[in-house]
Structure 1
Amino acid sequence: MESVGLWTVFGSEVVGTFFLILLGVGVVANVTLSKTYGNGGGIITIAFGWGLAVFAAVYAAASSGAHINPAITAGLWASGADEYAPGVPVTWASTAVYVLAQLLGAFAGAVGAWAAYRRHYDDPDNEPGAALGTFSTNAAIRSIPDNVVTEVLGTFVLVYVVLRFGDTPTEVGPLAVALLVVGIGVSLGGPTGYAINPARDLGPRLAHAVLPIRGKGSSNWDYSWVPVVGPLVGAVLAGLFSHVPI
């Protein structure tokens, strides 16, 4: 692959993360919002929907190495990688470009999902908190230490497996990453909704806070740090552990 510049990285990560969140938030909206054709589809539908969202997003963001997740970026940094993508050295500046692009793409993707389901978001028959649940994660049982551990473990699995197969998700192969995300979802997704991606949670939560959704309620900011800190800790541990001989 030819060397890429930071502008290409920025655009690639915005587009890839946009597709990830558009399709990911979209599948949760389809399952949980009132009167959709997918209403009541359950966690298996959501897990496979997120997996296929990753599949599409990795292809869309191939130019930048398809991080589409600050946890992947953090894991590569912690692993001692020299480059994030061909010609893109691991520096504070390049790291900031990746993370900013991922957050922007996640916000935009959430807005896109809202636009697709706008009438359903405003439906008064939705369960309380249903709108926020499509945008961001929350604990099924609130226990912050346990919730953090769940996010650490889920993200550790994601980042460690990606790093063991290659330095970037595109070297693993989009289908392999997609199936990995499905596996994490059906295995470890029950307690917290498996954010395993700080941008996936924070960008859509910001969108929920500003979008004109009827009766949307709180954006649950007191929990918002868990799906950011937990995945970053898990990613750094995976990066450090990825070189341990086993």
Structure 2
Amino acid sequence: MHGFIGELVGTFILIVIGCGVGAGLNLKKTFSSGQKDWFYISFAWGVAVTMGVYVAGSLGSQGHLNPAVTIAFAVAGTFPHAQVGPYLAGQFLGAFLGAVVVIIQFWSHFKATTRPENNNVSIFATMPGINYGLFNFISELIATFVFILVLVNLGNFTTGLKPVVVGLVIFAIGAGLGTTTGFALNPARDWGPRLAYTLIPVPNKSGAGWWYSWVPMFGPICGGLLAVGLQAMVK
């Protein structure tokens, strides 16, 4: 239960901060609307991950917040298989609930934002700059490969300043590799908010883009498996 609760609350924090930034930048009549800056977005998601990892670690989990991390570590033999189910459940549920809170927080701004280019699923989930399925998949694979290769060499990344390092890695990947697909890196971070956007009658919303959802699901998982496979080969 500690793992489930830690992953749920930590992922919840991650999504509230990260998707909150997306909402504030895109919706009308917020104080940050129209001030789009990719470095700012990347940095905010990095801080969101840092805060989530700290909270999850304090509640007794390993601070994965990400099915790609949990699955990769389990395959590598550094995480117990019996804990995979509770961790994944906590991650997806936490991401869903975090998106619900963001929808409530920005409800009046969703009502004020009628243009679909500003009020769309990209506030919550990732979409490609150019829709090219194979290369979108490869983009997520590469970005997650880099992320998890760093994680497996950090040891317990919930302690000390290591969550800050994890956040900086997210920031660097977002700034350097994230501009093609929005750097999901994390199936729960994408699918949980996408589902919330689908189920809740968000004012003026457009489609949830489920046609693209296979990329942020399988790209990160494959990237994580590739990273732990390479790590096992070189150590």
TM bucket (normalised to shorter chain) is over 0.9
Which of 58, 61, 65 aligns to 1:64? It is 61
* 1:142 equivalent in structure 2: 131
TM-score computed with the length of structure 2 as normaliser: 0.94
Percent of residue pairs identical: 37
Contact 2:116 2:205 in 1 (8 A): no
User: Partners in 1 of 2:203 and 2:189 — Cα distance?
Assistant: 23
User: 1:142-196, CA deviations, whole angstroms, 9 ceiling, x for partnerless residues?
Assistant: 0000000000001001111000121x43257111000000000000111100000
Supply the AA of the counterpart residue of 1:191: T
Aligned letter for 1:111? V
Query: Is 1:223 paired with 2:223?
Result: no
Q: Which amino acid aligns with 2:2?
A: T
Q: Distance in 2 between matches of 1:237 and 1:104?
A: 26
Q: 1:52 aligns with which of 47, 70, 79?
A: 47
Cα displacement (A) at 1:34: 1.5
Tell me by how many angstroms 1:124 deviates.
3.6
Distance 2:118 2:40 in 1: 20
Q: What are the superposed Cα offsets for residues 189-214 of structure 1, whole Å, 9 maximum, x if unpaired?
A: 11100000000000000000011112
Code of the residue aligned with 2:10 in structure 1: it is: G
Range 104-113 or range 114-123, more displaced: 114-123
Q: What is the rounded CA distance, in whole Å, between the counterparts of 1:127 and 1:217 in structure 2?
A: 6
Task: Specify which of 2, 16, 21 is matched with residue 22 of structure 1.
Answer: 16
Q: CA deviation at 1:102?
A: 0.2
SS of 1:195's partner is: coil
Aligned residues: 231
Unaligned runs of 5+ in 1: 1-6, 85-89
Which of residues 203, 206, 210 is equivalent to 1:214?
A: 203
Question: Which residue of structure 1 aligns with residue 165 of structure 2?
Answer: 176
Tell me how far apart the structure 2 counterparts of residues 129 and 79 of structure 1 sit (CA, whole Å). Answer: 41
User: Take 1:24 and 1:128, find their aligned partners in 2: how far apart are those partners?
Assistant: 19
Give the deviation of 1:129 after TM superposition: 5.9
Cα RMSD, aligned residues only: 1.4
The alignment's TM-score, normalised by the length of structure 1, stands at 0.90
Cα pair 2:120 2:207 within 8 Å, conserved: no
Listed as ranges, the matches of 1:89-168 within 5 Å are 90-91=80-81, 93-128=82-117, 130-166=119-155, 168=156
Q: Is the 8 A contact 2:12 2:95 kept in 1?
A: yes
Query: 1:242: Cα distance to partner?
Result: 1.5
